[in-house]
Amino acid sequence: MTLTLFPIRLFFAAFLMLLAWPFAFIASMGSDEQELEKPLSWWRKIVDILLKAIMRMMWLAGGFHWINVKGRRALPTEAAILTVAPHSSYFDAIPVTMTFASIVMKAECKDIPVWGTLIRYIRPVFVSRSDQDSRKKTVEEIKKRAQSDGKWPQIMIFPEGTCTNRSCLITFKPGAFIPGVPVQPVLLRYPNQLDTVTWTWQGPGALEILWLTLCQFHNSVEIEFLPVYTPSEEERKNPVLYANNVRRIMAEALGVSVTDYTFEDCRLALSEGQLRLPSDTCLLEFAKLVRSLGLKPETLEDDLDKYTTSAMKMKKEKIDLKEFSAYLEFPVSHTLESMFALFDENEDGVIDIREFVIALSVVCKPSKTLETLQLAFQLYQSEKGTITEQDLFNILKTAMGVSQVNVTHLFRAVDEEEKGEITYNDFYRFVEFHPFFAESYIFVDEMEAESDFQTSSRSAPNGICTDFSPVNTEDKNKPLQKKVN
């Protein structure tokens, strides 16, 4: 297929995209917001029909011979926002080209040759990474369009915010639900014998997925429009609740579970700093509680600076739940109690606030291990600027989110003069010569176990699952594991 079908399909798909470009370019010239206040002109309707036909031919050339559509797409006056899930591939653009609904996407995409013109034609909501206020502006723009009584085109949003492998629905971002207007859930399925479309942060890259998909004789895709979901008064006031309820309905229709983890949690778990997180870390649970508490990702670094300054003043003092509430400036709640319990190792009702700051630093900057360790040294060091082996133990077990960690070999390796105490400069010089110190001094037993497992698994028969990653299916009765301490 690489020598026969692939080049033919690639040629026709590229030709049809180039054919669509001049129509989209001409239709986009000189357009402004006022045009949306008026009915579409006759020539614009013709361009819409032509572009939809060309895009459908492009997908046909790519092997998507027919697209199975279930349910009825709501009118813009019935549902201004279409929430699509699961999001797993750039082939999820199929429903976009079928409906020409506006989408939310990175501002950089409008500069992509040819494709950028087609994107601009559907009047997307652009998000700029360089603009600090971009998130707020995006929400306001979505709000304005959603509350325009159908004057703007429908907005199609992928609320997961990233591509997943479709095995579950991750946490929905609240942007689509903040306006508090009715939304129509839309389901995507790819019922193919071989999965060649999934594009996540691990696995085949974009070009390999394109090659594998175009080499398949036929590719199936199903789009299902569920009934419009009208929010209650409580859901209008609470976008997170609204998002969770819509996600639950979509998960039930898909027959998959839900997980409260997000893409940021995956970045945390897979971070490639000098100190990787073990599989049984409790910091993923901590990260969920941070979000539930209302600490926003865009302000997390500023919050960390504020909490660090307060912790420096408190030194080694331990605090109770009421003082923890005052420290965070959040009222006592179930979420706050759960977070407090993660650090209450002895269950004596007090915690060391320094451990909270270290854990927050890891969540805030998962790949910047040395920055977190430098901060931890500042929190634990004596007046001489040194820490003991016990201090290092407290720092590393908190930074990794586990209950036990062996730091004796590491401490002795850093403490060459056997003073019984080390400084951050001593530790930094050691790391310069031993960048993989965690594998050599902390995870020695684990690395040997993994090596033995990989050796034994080479002879395992095909079909045996060797992925032991936990899947959260929202078991609310499962007690919190006190591993941070």
Which residue range is the domain that position 347 belongs to?
A: 266-455
pLDDT tens digit string along 332-357?
999 999 999 999 888 889 999 999 99
Confirm whether 336 is domain-assigned: yes
DSSP state of 229: B
On the question of pLDDT at 229 being above 50, the answer is yes
Compute the mean pLDDT over every residue in the chain, rounded to the nearest whole number. 82
**Residue of higher predicted confidence among 477 and 87:** 87
φ/ψ of 340, rounded to 5, equals: -60, -40
Q: Which residue has the tokens 């060649």?
A: 196
Q: Are residues 108 and 230 in the same domain?
A: yes
Query: Which stretches of 381-418 are DSSP H helices?
Result: 389-400, 408-414
Long-range contacts of 319-323 (CB under 8 A, 24+ apart): 319/350, 319/351, 319/353, 320/349, 320/350, 321/349
On the question of pLDDT at 446 being above 70, the answer is no
Q: Are residues 398 and 277 in the same domain?
A: yes
CA–CA separation, 199 and 164 (whole Å): 7
Residue 30 CA: distances (Å) to CA of 46, 47, 85: 18, 15, 34
- Predicted confidence at residue 234, as pLDDT, reads 94
Q: Are residues 223 and 292 in the same domain?
A: no
Q: Are residues 159 and 239 in the same domain?
A: yes
Q: Are residues 118 and 243 in the same domain?
A: yes
Identify the band that residue 93 occupies on the pLDDT scale cut at 50, 70 and 90. very high
On the question of pLDDT at 179 being above 60, the answer is yes
- Predicted confidence at residue 481, as pLDDT, reads 39
Q: Are residues 169 and 285 in the same domain?
A: no
User: 3-state class of 84 per DSSP?
Assistant: strand
On the question of pLDDT at 220 being above 90, the answer is yes
Q: Are residues 192 and 142 in the same domain?
A: yes
Residues 6+ apart with CB under 8 A from 191: 220, 222
Q: Are residues 384 and 433 in the same domain?
A: yes
Confirm whether 38 is domain-assigned: no
On the question of pLDDT at 484 being above 60, the answer is no
Confirm whether 164 is domain-assigned: yes
CB-CB contact of 284 with 268 (8 Å) = yes
Q: In the numeric block, which tokens belong to residue 77?
A: 């006056």
Task: State the average pLDDT over residues 431-451.
Answer: 67
CA–CA separation, 254 and 188 (whole Å): 9
On the question of pLDDT at 15 being above 60, the answer is yes
If one counts the domains in the chain, the total is: 2
Give the DSSP H/E element, type plus range, for residue 155: strand 155-157
Q: Are residues 341 and 433 in the same domain?
A: yes
Confirm whether 11 is domain-assigned: no
User: 3-state class of 105 per DSSP?
Assistant: strand
Q: Characterize the bridge pairing of strands 221-225 and 67-70.
A: parallel
Q: Considering only CA atoms, which of 179, 158, 160, 163 is closest in space to residue 171? A: 160
CA–CA separation, 247 and 220 (whole Å): 24
pLDDT tens digit string along 193-206?
999 999 987 788 99
Confirm whether 478 is domain-assigned: no
CB-CB contact of 383 with 391 (8 Å) = no
**Residue of higher predicted confidence among 261 and 382:** 382
CB-CB contact of 142 with 101 (8 Å) = no
Q: Are residues 303 and 340 in the same domain?
A: yes
pLDDT tens digit string along 378-427?
999 988 889 999 999 989 888 888 877 888 888 999 988 889 999 999 99
Percent pLDDT > 70 in the chain is 85
Q: Are residues 189 and 281 in the same domain?
A: no
Identify the band that residue 450 occupies on the pLDDT scale cut at 50, 70 and 90. very low
Q: In the numeric block, which tokens belong to residue 484?
A: 């941070």
CA–CA separation, 284 and 265 (whole Å): 6
- Predicted confidence at residue 147, as pLDDT, reads 83
On the question of pLDDT at 142 being above 90, the answer is no
Q: What is the pTM of this model?
A: 0.72
Listed in order, strand segments (DSSP E) in 310-463 are 318-319, 351-352
Confirm whether 179 is domain-assigned: yes
pLDDT tens digit string along 28-83?
765 554 444 455 667 777 888 899 999 999 999 999 999 999 999 999 889 999 99
Confirm whether 120 is domain-assigned: yes
Confirm whether 13 is domain-assigned: no
Q: Are residues 190 and 330 in the same domain?
A: no
On the question of pLDDT at 468 being above 80, the answer is no
On the question of pLDDT at 456 being above 90, the answer is no
- Predicted confidence at residue 246, as pLDDT, reads 96
